[in-house]
Amino acid sequence: MGTAYVSSPLHKIAYYFFSFILPTPDHLFFLNVSPEEAYRRILEMRVKREMFESMDELKKVKHKALSLASMSGWTIIDADKPIDAVGGEIKRQLVGMQPKP
């Protein structure tokens, strides 16, 4: 999902290239955090921010990453919720999933 940081439309090409050559796990989860919540967490946890951690950049990257996840069969989980709720949702999803053949 790191390819979401690559310029459009190259991020899609890079995503499919890497997903083709690298092993893919049986279960893919996209933790969908709003840019506002991500920014709040960044400010709370860090003294220094990275160049992609502005509100504008978080919005751009989230849009591309969510698009890739939606097109590629990832399970999308609302991660604006507290960590225990997110963890519980991941566990519920795993119980209901069958491994790839």
The CATH number given to whatever domain includes residue 82 is: 3.40.50.300
User: Is residue 47's pLDDT more than 70?
Assistant: yes
- What's the chain's average pLDDT? 92
Q: Considering the domain boundaries, does residue 52 fall inside one?
A: yes
The mean per-residue pLDDT over the stretch 62-67 comes to: 96
31 assigned to some structural domain: yes
Task: Tell me phi and psi for residue 70, to 5 degrees.
Answer: -65, -40
C-alpha dihedral over 23, 35, 80, 46, to 10 degrees?
90
pTM for this predicted structure: 0.83
Residue 56 maps to a domain:
yes
101: in domain: no
pLDDT for 48:
85
Kindly tell me the sign of the dihedral angle through the C-alpha atoms of 65, 79, 50, 28.
negative
Q: Which domain holds residue 56?
A: 2-96
**pLDDT above 90: residue 18:** yes
What is the percent of the chain with per-residue pLDDT over 90, rounded to a whole number? Answer: 80
